[in-house]
Structure 1
Amino acid sequence: MTEKSFFKETANNKILDFVRTLGFSKIAENAYRKQYGDYGITIEYDGRFPEKTKIDYGNRILCHSKTVSLCFQPETFVVLECVNRLLEKGYKPENIELGMLQGKKSWDILVKEGQEDNAVAIECLAWPLAFHKKHKEKSVQRYQKTEELCFYTSQISDGKIEFFTNTRLFEDDKKILIPAGK
């Protein structure tokens, strides 16, 4: 399945299946919400124009780019599923940044511990074609104190979430360390 056909299928009300599978509950005619303790994420679903569906990550997750909140590309759903997984595992929303940009390089998600020490950058890719192609080609540069870059993809299959990751440790890869200035 190509990225285009995935998105077309997703846009045809698959968004609602996706949102429900993640555990979001309907709170209004076109709004869904999921609570993570005292924190929540809200999705405003536009049934007429699904690509205009918006994700509100709340005020404690820092969003550097509005593209992570707009559902016009398959990666947006992978970002949402990954953030959902992080919050369910107990990561604090304050330690998650979306749409991170440093120079010409960007990452979809940055997960920090404390004051940016031991950060992990996560690049979310569409399942499976983009993931298998791009994670091998991707030029990788380091985000300041980031020690790892995680390539992440997920999809819903038979009502269950399937995910796959590939993590690169910067300290172990000379090809990555040299461009990063080490």
Structure 2
Amino acid sequence: MLTQDNLADLLNALGFEKKGAIHRKLFGSAVLEVNFAKKEIHYPEAAGLIINERQTCNFDANENFVVLECVHRLLEKGYKPEHIELEPKWKLGRGASGGCADILVKDNEARPLLIIECKTVGTEFKRTWNKTLQDGDQLFSYAQQISETRFLCLYTSDLDAGTVNYTSHIIAHRDNDKYLADNPLFKSFKSATDVKDRHAVWRDTCKLDYTTKGIFEENIQPYHIGKDKYSVADLHAISASDQQKKYHEFATILRQDNVSGRENAFDKLVNLFLCKLVDEIENPSDLKFYHDAA
């Protein structure tokens, strides 16, 4: 977990220059600075980055260091400071007191592109993601307030043996018009009137679809979120718990498509696995056979 204790190591790994109690890194004319004496994080406001509140500009919470690392990653990727906004605040639903998203990223026309919610690695990230799957949680509450946002992301990062690792769960918050035209009974994000409706669209229309790649990878350009193609390098082994989850997902899909009988179901699954294997062998750098509901 990123903490005050390993913050200096994090900044060193990210290439910050140290001068006394101050660690600094330049992105053109934009300056990202951490002052250990004052326990303050200074973002490049002079270059256009907007800070609405300063809850993440200090050392008070470990989550603030995840926000710092994420902003660094955005700047290093090529996002302009003037398109990054910290802690935009909206009222959350009826009777709610309000809340702040961690990061709002805008496109080159200053339109909302991406909302990022940062969490510490481990328990907090997992708890928030499970809550997002269950009812939408913070991400969909923010999306309800700024419905033009095209992507939502739950993000965490950590420092392991001097290497900075990150995890991003990216949700496409936009309608697939062709998919909706072919499935007229499904609802759209455009028609959602509240957080519950918006989450229901993701759950029922998009089948809780998300991706772990599409913002920060080397072959992704800034402001172009999502991968146009996948390769074998994007694949990874799944754990035993994931295998059980996939089994239940397959069973649910088969029931929804009225595939009855064990022999028939087995035949369908074998065909799917064979298609996947052939695709990986024949198209290793441009996979054709994968699910994409976005």
TM-score interval, normalised by the smaller of the two chains: 0.7 to 0.9
Give the Cα separation in 2 of the matches to 1:117 and 1:58: 20
1:65 is displaced (CA, Å) by 1.2
Compare 96-105 and 170-179 and name the one that shifted more: 170-179
Give the Cα separation in 1 of the matches to 2:147 and 2:18: 40
Q: CA RMSD in A?
A: 2.2
1:175 is displaced (CA, Å) by 9.4
SS for the counterpart of 1:67 is coil
AA partner of residue 14 (structure 2): L
1:93 correspondence with 2:81: yes
SS for the counterpart of 1:116 is coil
> Which residue in the other structure is 2:35 paired with?
44
1:178 is displaced (CA, Å) by 4.2
Alignment deviations for residues 51-105 of structure 1 (CA, whole Å, 9 cap, x no partner): x511110222111111111111111011011101111111000000001111124
Pick the aligned partner of 1:179 from 194, 201, 205. Answer: 194
1:75 correspondence with 2:63: yes
Give the Cα separation in 2 of the matches to 1:158 and 1:112: 34
1:147 correspondence with 2:150: yes
1:131 correspondence with 2:118: no
1:32 is displaced (CA, Å) by 1.0
Alignment deviations for residues 133-153 of structure 1 (CA, whole Å, 9 cap, x no partner): 112214222124212110000
Residues 174/99 of structure 1: CA separation in 2 closer, same or farther (3 Å cut): farther
Residues 93/30 of structure 1: CA separation in 2 closer, same or farther (3 Å cut): same
User: Matches of residues 26-65 of structure 1 in structure 2 within 5 Å?
Assistant: 26-27=18-19, 29-46=20-37, 53-59=39-45, 60-65=48-53
Compare 82-91 and 107-116 and name the one that shifted more: 107-116
1:106 is displaced (CA, Å) by 2.4
Residues 81/174 of structure 1: CA separation in 2 closer, same or farther (3 Å cut): farther
Give the Cα separation in 2 of the matches to 1:79 and 1:32: 16
AA partner of residue 64 (structure 1): N
Pick the aligned partner of 1:110 from 94, 100, 104. Answer: 104
AA partner of residue 153 (structure 1): T
Give the Cα separation in 1 of the matches to 2:157 and 2:187: 29
1:121 is displaced (CA, Å) by 0.3
| Larger RCO, structure (CA 8 Å, separation 6 or more) | 1
> Which residue in the other structure is 1:25 paired with?
17
Compare 144-153 and 134-143 and name the one that shifted more: 134-143
1:11 is displaced (CA, Å) by 2.8
Unaligned runs of 5+ in 1: 1-5, 47-51
1:11 correspondence with 2:4: yes
Structure holding more strand per residue: 1
SS for the counterpart of 2:12 is helix
AA partner of residue 110 (structure 1): L
The answer to whether the 8 Å contact 2:104/2:115 transfers is yes
Give the Cα separation in 2 of the matches to 1:123 and 1:175: 23
* Runs of 4 or more consecutive aligned structure 1 residues displaced over 4 Å after TM superposition: 172-176
Percent of pairs with identical residues: 30
Structure holding more helix per residue: 2
The answer to whether the 8 Å contact 1:70/1:76 transfers is yes
Give the Cα separation in 1 of the matches to 2:14 and 2:120: 17
Give the Cα separation in 2 of the matches to 1:96 and 1:30: 26
Residues 179/92 of structure 1: CA separation in 2 closer, same or farther (3 Å cut): same
Give the Cα separation in 2 of the matches to 1:119 and 1:64: 18
The answer to whether the 8 Å contact 1:116/1:145 transfers is no
